[in-house]
Structure 1
Amino acid sequence: MPPDAARRSDRSRRAILVAALELVEALGYSKLTIEAVAARAGVGKQTIYRWWPSKGPLLFDALVELGPVGHDSPPSGDLAADLKRELRLAVGELAERRFDQVCRVLVHESRTDLVTLLLMPRRMVVEDRLRSAQRLGDVRPDVDVSAAAELLLGSLYQRWLLRTAPLTEDFTDAVVDLVLRALSDRP
């Protein structure tokens, strides 16, 4: 019986994606080459070029398929603690060299799919937490939940992108506390 080409393709694709992320973390984006990815994955360059035109789209797919995106823990009942956890997880992702290297390039290339596929899952978790808090009366009913999520996460992404100051847990906690004071009827 001949080898299953689909299984071989899936195995090769995964090996390429893993190799790309490992190498971008070790070398950085500027030193990463398709040749190095091919060698590490044990495939020919032509196999990579058959699926991706360049290293940017390859790394984007690698992050989408293998990267740290989203968070599934159930709400704890403490909105501030839940939001602080989400923002800390976002900071942790931004601190990962592979995520940082690839996302900076994708932002530079104005890849709108970066926002949709990599950043939107965390935003949806934050919006869900805020909507739940709104139903419980912990967030004012007139608050635009989407705008509030942007306030929370946008400050992190701006600080990360511009490198104006370090991203720390103290910063994320201060952002959550400040935004929650603005969203609540309580002092």
Structure 2
Amino acid sequence: MAATKPTPDASRRSEKSRRAIYAAALELVTEAGYARTTIEGIAARAGVGKQTIYRWWSSKADVLMEAYLDLADQTAEQTADQAADQAGADPAPGNYALPDTGDLAADLKLVLRATVDELLDPRFEVPSRALAAEGIADAAVGREVVAKLLEPSLQLYVQRLRAAQRAGDVRPDLDPRIALELFVSPLAQRWLQHTAPISYDYTDTLVDYALYGLAPR
């Protein structure tokens, strides 16, 4: 009797295709820019049919956003694993809360320095700029960028500031969602508009100004 061939695993094949599409989208937007990146180009680079992409996504913006979020998640998991290894603890999948050492200023400076590193890393910078620019031109894309990319990250700052409120480190009447804009928004504006370089010194100063104000101590 002839041996029966194993049935192909459709889910594994789909995941492999999805990963190839993510990689192709990020590579093409880096090499050619967002305007010259097309669904056809992504499909050709990924080795899949164009209809495969349209079956999962409605536009190249959707593909790029999902690819970027996947890259960010993988990077966050690697960072969490490394931190857990250094601390001799088990990693907590999906737990991307900001550090809480009891020193709010130090914690915020650490996270914003990591943000500077990410914003200056071409793997993140190019797709980030592409999505930000498309979000300005297309309101629907802009809402998706805010909902899927920006707001989840901002909520991590909200949680950390609320913890600081409970610890008595900041005013109890403070609105964390507004307060975080004192250091996040200037960094985003400087990065987007190229008004000046971004650096650790810059974000450290933002935290100091936000926490301690402008009045003499």
- Do Structure 1 and Structure 2 share a fold, with TM-score over 0.5? yes
1:11 and 1:116 mapped to 2: Cα distance? 27
- Deviating above 6 A after TM superposition, structure 1's stretches of 4 or more consecutive aligned residues are none
> Structure 2: how far apart are the matches of 1:171 and 1:108?
29
Q: Is 2:91 aligned against 1:82?
A: no
> What SS does the aligned partner of 2:168 have?
coil
Aligned residue for 2:101, secondary structure, equals coil
For residue 44 of structure 1, the aligned residue among 42, 46, 49 is 49
Match of 1:14 among 11, 19, 22: 19
Unaligned runs of 5+ in 1: none
Which of 77, 80, 93 lines up with 2:118 in the alignment?
93
Shift of 1:16: 0.5
Unaligned runs of 5+ in 2: 1-5, 77-95
Name which of 133, 138, 162 aligns with 1:104.
133
How far residue 12 of structure 1 moved from its aligned partner, in angstroms, is 0.8
CA 1:15–1:101 in structure 2 vs 1: closer, same or farther (change >3 Å)?
Answer: same
CA RMSD across the alignment: 2.4
Paired letter, 1:97: V
Contact 2:38–2:60 (8 Å) recurs in 1 = yes
Of 44, 67, 72, 1:67 maps to: 72
- Residue in 2 aligned with 1:176? 207
**1:165 corresponds to 2:196:** yes
Tell me by how many angstroms 1:41 deviates.
1.1
TM-score after normalising by structure 2: 0.75
Q: Would the aligned equivalents of 1:107 and 1:114 in 2 still touch at CA under 8 Å?
A: no
Task: Tell me, in whole angstroms, the C-alpha distance in 1 between the residues paired with 2:72 and 2:129.
Answer: 11
**Percent sequence identity over aligned pairs:** 49
In the other structure, the counterpart of 2:81 is none
Identify the match of residue 149 of structure 2 among 93, 105, 118.
118
Tell me the alpha carbon deviations over residues 13-62 of structure 1, each in whole angstroms, 9 at most, x when there is no partner: 12101211122122221222223211221112221122223211211121
